[in-house]
């Protein structure tokens, strides 16, 4: 039954997801550029929202963004130069501990406003109930991909 459904559609789910992602990414990049940020820098800043104590290591950022260590280090250095991040003394000198500056906190607020604006556009054609269902379905699909996510 599912096979027949999948074979008869003109456009598959992956294409739709790719198109939607592309449109959202371009809008997000445009909004971030107005504030002098890149998408990667915004993702670093966003990762601080999920830290328990407001501190991250380069390793934490590397894991959150699924990038190599040199990429994470380069991002951190560029963001330090912009005044968004600062290094904090650590007990373990091998570990580079980072926190957001005042400018970094302001960037979170501005980035969140842009993300909310973009999500509002995405969900504008859906009722509140449909929006909840949409989020629930996205969570369900995302959680079903655990094996694939391990290989990212």
CATH number for 78: 1.10.10.10
d(CA 110, CA 28) in angstroms, rounded, equals 12
Residue 128, domain member (yes or no): no
Cα within 13 Å of Cα(103), Cβ side: 12
Model confidence pLDDT, tens digit, residues 10-59: 778 888 888 999 999 899 889 888 888 898 998 898 888 878 788 899 99
What pTM did the predictor assign? 0.70
**Residue 151: phi, psi to the nearest 5?**
-95, 15
Cα 140 from Cα 150, distance rounded (Å) = 17
pLDDT over 70 at 1, yes or no: no
Tell me if 98 is assigned to some domain.
yes
Tell whether 102 is covered by a domain.
yes
20 lies in some domain: yes
Is residue 144, in this structure, part of any structural domain at all?
no
Q: How confident is the model at residue 114 (pLDDT cuts 50, 70, 90)?
A: confident
Number of CB atoms found within 10 A of residue 131's CB: 16
Q: Does residue 76 belong to any structural domain of this protein? A: yes
pLDDT of residue 96: 82
Range of the domain at 62: 15-122
What pLDDT is recorded for position 88? 85
Q: What is the pLDDT of residue 6?
A: 53
pLDDT at 2 over 70: no
- The pLDDT of residue 151 is 63
**Distance from C-alpha of 126 to C-alpha of 133, rounded to nearest angstrom:** 10
Contacts 24+ apart (CB under 8 A), 119-125: 121/27, 122/20, 122/24
pLDDT digits (tens, 9 = 90+) for 54-89: 889 999 999 888 899 999 999 999 999 999 999 887
Give residue-wise pLDDT tens across range 121-148: 999 999 999 999 999 999 998 888 877 7
In a domain, 55, yes or no: yes
Total tally of structural domains belonging to the chain:
1
pLDDT of residue 8: 64
Residue 139 lies in a domain: no
So what's the pLDDT on residue 102?
Answer: 93
């Amino acid at each position: 039954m599912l096979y027949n459904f999948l074979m008869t559609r003109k456009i598959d789910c992956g294409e739709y997801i790719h198109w939607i992602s592309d449109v959202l990414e371009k809008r997000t990049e445009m909004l971030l550029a107005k504030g002098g940020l890149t998408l990667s820098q915004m993702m670093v800043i966003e990762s601080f929202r999920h830290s328990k104590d407001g501190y991250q290591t380069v390793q934490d950022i590397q894991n959150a963004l699924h990038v190599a260590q040199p990429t994470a280090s380069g991002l951190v250095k560029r963001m330090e130069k912009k005044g968004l991040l600062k290094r904090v003394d650590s007990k373990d000198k091998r570990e580079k501990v980072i926190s957001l500056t005042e400018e970094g906190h302001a960037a979170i607020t501005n980035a969140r406003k842009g993300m909310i604006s973009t999500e509002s556009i995405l969900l504008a054609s859906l009722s509140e109930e449909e929006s909840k269902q949409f989020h629930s379905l996205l969570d369900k699909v995302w959680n079903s991909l655990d094996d694939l996510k391990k290989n990212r």
